[in-house]
Structure formats: C-alpha cells, structure tokens
Structure 1
C-alpha cells in the first residue's frame, strides 16, 4: 500500500484526487492547504481522514510514503525539499520549479535523502503522443526536419485575478512556463537535445508580470528546427493545442483539447497500427486530459518496486531548461546556446 499526502488543494488537485481514487494499493492519508476551508472541503469530498493548514504537521506523519505537490509552481522546490528531508517520496506538478537553480536543489535533496522524484508531465502518456514517440524512436519519420507546436488558448483577466500568485515571475511564470509547459516538454522530448533557442515574448493584454504571448525558434543538435507559438489571448475561447512533426519519410499532427487526437498520420511505410490509428485518440473534457490516471499508475509501480520513475527530475529539468532559455533569449534579445 502506498500512502499519499497532498499539499495544495486548489484547481489541479482535483485531477490528483480523482486519479488516486481509481487505483488499488494506494490511499490518501491527508491533505493540506493554507486555506483551511479548502483543505476541509477536499477531505470531505474525497473521504480523506486528515486535513491541516500546517504542512510540517502533514510531513511529520509516519503513515505517509509520498507527498503530491499541487501548490503554485514557485513553491514546488521548497515543498519538495521539505518532503525529501522528511524521507517522503516527492511528486510535483509541472513545472518542477520556475528557476532551473531551484530545480537542481530539489533534485539534489531527493538524491541525498534517497527518495524518488516524480514530475507530472502526463501528456507524454497520452496514447496519441505515445504513438508519435514510438514512430520517432523506430525511425519511421527518418530524419526530423521540423516540429511546430501551437498553443492558442484563452485566459481572461478574471483567471489571473483568482489568485495573487498567478502570472508572477516568482510563483508562476507566464504562458510558456505555466499553460504551454507540456507542449515545450513534448517538443524537446520529440526533438532530442537542444542546441539553441531564440524567442520573443510580451505581455500584450493581461495585467500580469509575465508574458501572455510569445514565439520561440529552437534548433536541435540533430539539425531539426522547431517553433513554439503561444498565446493566452485567443478570442473568445481555447482554439488550438497542436504539435506537427515533419520528417523525410513521414508527417503527423496531434491536436485536440489536450494533445489527445491524431489529426494527420502519413508515412512512406505501413504498419498494422496505422489501420487503427484513430483508436489512439481520446476525448477528455478539459486541457488536463486523462494523463493523470496513467501517470499515477506508473508512480505507484515505481514506489512499490523501488524502480526509477518513468518521468523523473532529470526529465522535468530538460523542459524547464528550455523554458528558462526562452525567457533569457527574449529578455536579452539574443540566441541562447544550451
């Protein structure tokens, strides 16, 4: 039995609570939030026996094996390090930090305390994304030429006004770090090691510190070029979240609300799975998709078997390094070499 404590009972926590309840060999022992009513309501809704507003009290419980961190992004390293120092395995929502240096401190703390570190990049586990990755790794695309990711979503001012930390550099970051971080991760996961990046970002309409719009051009060591175009100003609602991969022997496009649908699939060769490619599309009702379910299954397996996480701190660090480089490039108006 894997026993979980969760900190941060806000918006994303619902996906965690729901995913955990579907699994065997796991239970939520306690939850924590600085807003007492929110922690109390979560405990009532999900039948959690213990709730608190004091994170240290949660960490002191000996009947907790793993801490799930759903607090604002800038607090992920601090809360993860505290959990590791109490001997708890650490699961952190994306991004694992808003600064690469803080992510490195979290990785080091988990290594020193001999606990596992999991970073929630659940879109990697979408059946459609798995199909693309398998095709890349098996050579079906041949040489990759271009990857294009578009994240054209709508986040009105009311969204940012829901909490003071949203859109701030210290706790949230902007459109690349928060909303588009999954797409940044998938682009670098598909393309391989990044050589350089150049970017333009700006805050065009929302009253926030960080950016609401931007574009990045990425050069991979393989020679492949990628672009990531992001805007939270799409009128009047979310329009597109897609990734297109162009190679010498194949072209594919994944879209849908959560990178969950295969929209184009064409290769010079044919395999049996091509005939049923549409069966690998899913139909979630939000941009979070169904990935948390599969992700928690992999987490529980790793904890029980004491095996390396499927998506660990090093994986989370790679996408964060690219995000940080995008911001540095835009701020300094120069190409950043990774």
Structure 2
C-alpha cells in the first residue's frame, strides 16, 4: 500500500479523503492542519497533526503528501515534503507565482520525488473522447478554440475566509475557477505563443479579478478565445470547451463541461455522433478525477515513472494566466517564453 497524508483540511480535502479511500493501493495514513478544530473528523486509525514537519519526521511510512492549503502556501509546503523525500500531489493552481512553480519542479527533481498537480477534468469521459480525436488529427488544420467559464461566486463565498480573493494566497477567477478549463485548452491545443487580454474587478470586493477576457495565439498558429467570470447571476451558468478545425467542430458544455453539445467530425456519421452523445449523457462524470490522480500516483511510485499530470503540466496554465494578467495590466500583447 502507498500511504498518503493530507495537509490542509478545508473543503477540498474531502475529495482527497474520498479519492484515497476508493483508490486501489492507497491508504490514508495521516492528516494535518494548523487549526485543530479541522482535525475533529471521524477517520478511524488515521493519525492527526497540527505540524507538517513533525508529522513527516515521526512517520517515515508516509509516502505521498497531498497539499490542500491556500494556493500561496503550495511552494513552501512542497519544499518541506520534498526535502523529506516525500512525493507530492498539489491542488490547483500549483502556485500563484512563476518562480515558485519552477522551484517546486526543481526541488522535487533534486530530491528524487514525484510531483503531481490536481487537474482532474482531463479524466471526464467527454474530454477523454475529445482528446483521442485530437491526438489522431481528426480536426485537420486547427482554426481556433474557445474556453468559457461563466460561474457564480457571490460575496459570501469570498467572505468565508480572509485569504479568499487575495493576491498572495488565492488569486482571482483565472487562477481559482478557470484554471481547469485553461488546462484543458492547453492539453488539447498545445502551448500558447502570445496573449492579449483585459481583466476587471466588477462586482466582488476582492483584490483580484472577477471577470477576464483574452485572445491567444497558439504556437501552431490557431487562435483561442477565453472568457472567465464569477459574476454570473444567480448561479453557475456554464463551463465549456470548443475546438474548431477544417474537418471537425466539437463543443463540450454544461455547467461543468461534462456533456457533448456538438460532435461534428469528418467521417463520423450523424448516427455515430448521436450514439457518442448518448453514451456520455448516460455517464457524464465517470470515475472521479481526484481518484484518477491518486491511483496514477500509486502507479507512478510503484513503476518509478512521472505522473500523468506532472509539475510541467501544472506550470503551463499558471504561465498562461500570469501572461493574461500582465497583458490586462499593461494593455499590451504578451509573448510567452
């Protein structure tokens, strides 16, 4: 069994607990939070700590640390775990700063441990089908892509904790909500060469943006349009990813981009397209993405390979978002190195 420890017992930790409990070959060994009240959870046999260093030093049997603390603390805790030869799974975004993300990749490699970033939307059934079509070139020459997140995060959401909506610990709609969608766009379309963007804080009393729009050019020459907002009234409206090429048009949408809305690909009959849509509608969520990430880390450790969503994968959307914010601030096109 591969033993996991979770640090940061906020909302997202529940998904990690469930994923570890359901993942083959995984065992929840310990949890950690600086707030002892958050440790008051019924987990028989699981050790509980308020100090990460103490937890790791006292328990050499911990193999993997799942970092679920506010984003601004990810780099610091990754370093602590890596220096103690523990593999790391870190929640999105892997970091709010480019230099921190690069340091996380560097320190885990230096200490010979694995780094995985939680981008679970890649494992949605509809997205998996789209990726297979992209990989075999079914769209021909790519025209453009569209990534849209139209969600609601009201003021009460941001007021839950002092760190929410801050530049130092949380980030705005791009880092916190749209990053999964942007990860999908990059995974499907490839790296971005340049971006022109605008962002604003329109409705929420936070330090960061609550709405943003950007146009990107991919290194393959295709274009992309990004729209992200937490200002939608009164609830989440949609998350979608759409790809357009000379021989294909596909749009995956719904409130959380789980359903196939358009599936027009050269060589695929209307009957086959409708069958594909029906298959996805029957099971739009599949195995939970966090469980995929946990099971992949178990395999990566046993097989001594890189995780499917490794540090470099987590770095890509962070780099894109920082370029979008730079462009929005300067009013200029930003070239991504």
TM-score by length of 1: 0.95
Aligned-pair distance for 1:256?
2.1
Indicate conservation of the 8 Å contact 1:150/1:229, yes or no: yes
Over 6 Å off, 4+ runs: none
Cα distance in 1, alignment partners of residues 189 and 142 from structure 2? 8
Aligned-pair distance for 1:40?
2.5
Cα distance in 1, alignment partners of residues 273 and 106 from structure 2? 43
Aligned-pair distance for 1:48?
4.7
Question: What is the aligned partner in structure 2 of residue 111 from structure 1?
Answer: 109
Cα distance in 1, alignment partners of residues 275 and 65 from structure 2? 39
Three-state SS of the structure 1 residue aligned to 2:177 is coil
Question: What is the aligned partner in structure 2 of residue 89 from structure 1?
Answer: 87
Q: 1:230-270: CA deviations, max 9, x gaps?
A: 11011100000011111110100111232211111011112
Please say if 1:57 is aligned against 2:54: yes
Question: What is the aligned partner in structure 1 of residue 40 from structure 2?
Answer: 40
Of 251, 268, 271, the residue aligned with 1:270 is 268
Question: What is the aligned partner in structure 2 of residue 133 from structure 1?
Answer: 131
Cα distance in 1, alignment partners of residues 223 and 17 from structure 2? 39
- The unaligned stretches of length 5 or more in structure 2 are none
Aligned-pair distance for 1:275?
5.8
RMSD between aligned residues: 1.6
Indicate conservation of the 8 Å contact 2:173/2:229, yes or no: yes
Please say if 1:175 is aligned against 2:173: yes
Of 99, 102, 114, the residue aligned with 2:100 is 102
Please say if 1:280 is aligned against 2:280: yes
Cα distance in 1, alignment partners of residues 275 and 21 from structure 2? 31
Question: What is the aligned partner in structure 2 of residue 214 from structure 1?
Answer: 212
Question: What is the aligned partner in structure 2 of residue 293 from structure 1?
Answer: 291
Question: What is the aligned partner in structure 1 of residue 6 from structure 2?
Answer: 6
Question: What is the aligned partner in structure 1 of residue 65 from structure 2?
Answer: 67
Three-state SS of the structure 1 residue aligned to 2:79 is helix
Three-state SS of the structure 1 residue aligned to 2:174 is coil
Question: What is the aligned partner in structure 2 of residue 23 from structure 1?
Answer: 23
Cα distance in 2, alignment partners of residues 153 and 185 from structure 1? 17
Cα distance in 2, alignment partners of residues 49 and 310 from structure 1? 28
Question: What is the aligned partner in structure 2 of residue 152 from structure 1?
Answer: 150
